[in-house]
A and B are shown apart, each in its own frame.
Chain A
Amino acid sequence: MTAARDVDVLVIGGGMAGAVAALAARSRGAAVVLVRRAPGATALSSGAISVAPDLGALPGEPLASRRSPVEAAQRLAAAWRDHPYAVAGVERLAEALAFAAAELGQVLAPPLDRRRFLATLYGSAVGAGLCQHATVDGDLLAVRGTLAVAGFRGHAAFDAPLVAAGLARYRPRGGPEVRAIELDLPALAPGAARPHELALALDRPGAAEALGDALRAALPAGAGAALFPPVLGLDPAARVLARIRERAGVPVAETLSDVPSVPGLRLHRAIEARLAEVGVEVVQADVAAAPAPGEPVRLGDRELRAAAWILATGRFVGGGIARRGVLAEPALRLPVQAAEGRDAGVQLALRPAASLTVRDRRRPQPLLSAGLRVDGALRPQDERGRPVHPRLFAAGAVLGGHEQATDGTGLGVAILTGFLAGRAAAGGG
């Protein structure tokens, strides 16, 4: 057997946190290997990255919020002391967001200094600090003229009249006029009702053009933009939105997605493409009970040694944290000891599920926010609060103390902590 190969940084996990970490280290010239098992929760994300909720905004009136995402993150960090924003600090959040948007520029649009207000499938709007190109022209504060919400005949999963009626409520807060329209999908096979099937069909030559023609014919007078369900192509290179727009003559956007998520899959593709482009080596392997940075680690059929490791394995969907009776971190067997909510308390990992959850589903759930505790430099801590290893870092959902589904940060924590960990692992700033 050959001797272990040496690289600078090993990133474990290929979601948003791992990708941003790898790209951040690579952009500082480090030799980076990224090992991942499978697409994780990032591929299931909605297409927008909230970054931070505006805790002072009026409930039900998202468009009334004018606080910038970074400012909102500062407030959040001040209010929730166990949150990764508070632990890592948000001083470099704007830099991290700009970095991620630039690196993944194939799908992500450059951030504004305000949040964009994007439509959901439920006919509501949410504020996003970062979003995909596919949603930019659906920003409710940017639409000039009537917003046409376009449903597909035969596609029961998207209720255009419902979305339109929901969005029309934001008119007094600066939202556009909204109208629902219905289009035929002549080029698609009947029964192609699943989102990714529609998206694949639209990637094909001619399909987007046909849809653009159908849209132009159905547009109401004074239409300024058209909003579609989140199925406008899987392959960013297929330029589905641009092709529709060229034929229809108006800007085109998608709503945000639920699961399964075409925008999530698109983001995953863009991450893969960018990692390959900048020369981050991606290895598909399972890492369990690995040693420590500086030690050789076995990845599938090869052995590797890296001076710095970044653990970005996600939480339960990603597999970074698992529970079989007790909570554990399977890759390096680090202690799981951080969680959100006053009921978290001691012995987090060992307590039964019923006592790590609270009745009100909307409240912070210690069990769902469980993960690693890290110091200010994002180094996981042992039970006594000391860094496990000086060159071991962690990023993203594997960090405890927050739950992205309910705290309104989306992939913001992944981007910030991935960026900081990547730069720290590469040395320098």
Chain B
Amino acid sequence: MKKAILWITTGVFFLGFFIPLTTAADFANEITVMTHDSFSISKAVVASFETLHNAKIRFLKAGDAGAALNQAILSKNNPLADLFFGVDNTFMSRALEADIFEAYASPLLSQIRDDLKLDPQNRLLPVDFGDVCLNYDKKWFAQKKLRPPASLEDLVKPAYRGLTVVENPATSSPGLAFLLATVGHFGENGYLDFWKEMRANDVMITSGWKEAYWGCFSAASKGRQPIVVSYASSPPAEVYYAKTPPDQAPTAAVTSDQTCFRQIEFVGIFKGTPKQDLARKLVDFMLDRKFQEDIPLQMFVFPANHSARLPEVFVKYACIADRPVQVPYAEIAAKREQWIEAWTDTVLR
């Protein structure tokens, strides 16, 4: 009997312990944004929206871009949030097929670069973009007196043997973007031949960007490879996050024609949100200059709004590819899996 009382008490204690924590407060003017782990924005920008609309923004981070989107799709009957930020053009088709976003033709779209507007129905609105491309270690190439790579074709030359590290497209989003760059560059019939030569030329493959950049790239760590697949905005990040800002970036990006893949990130309003009005205001806000000008230093990508001014470190050290590789997103949707599968067979097995 005593024992039973003990356990019941424990049980009650245990329940009492977590019930208060289980019910998330839900205010009428609170809006929830679901996003991936890399999202960032400054306090002042958030505060300016909150004061303007007398609202509160709550952010939910849900793992990497893929995991976050999948959770949004899984919970579509009972959404976790009102908006989703961070679907990119490689995952776009998955989001649109799942039909989780509602259309919103924001008036601010007139300020957005036309080449970024991929969804004619405006269920997904472009917020930022970044070019996935080759980065190289400037010091390494200067010391070895070797010409830095200028094109994708350079990578398979004997002089560049064992110099490149690439992320696995099956597990990494820059890896997938780079695979798409090669598909666009060499064509569907030629990209596998390129990768065969890459393999013969001792390309290093890692599972993700962190392992490639921090584990292998000679400019960032004590790694061996002076060429890495990263972003065109990585060099300004190297400058911005240096201990003492150097005059020159230690790395450089290769943005010559047809060598980069442009990753575009979108925002969308979840279908059936009870806070449609506020959600639309937030989308407008995200496309407006204040938010857009905050993007570069927060996430090291470029703003989608063409009137947004870039910070100095971007003006000085970053470049945008004039002609990135074009792969229509419908084609990405149809063939992504097949390309990854073929790549895996060619490079890894």
Pairing of A with B: no
Chain B interfacial positions (CB closer than 8 Å to A) = none
Chain A interfacial positions (CB closer than 8 Å to B) = none
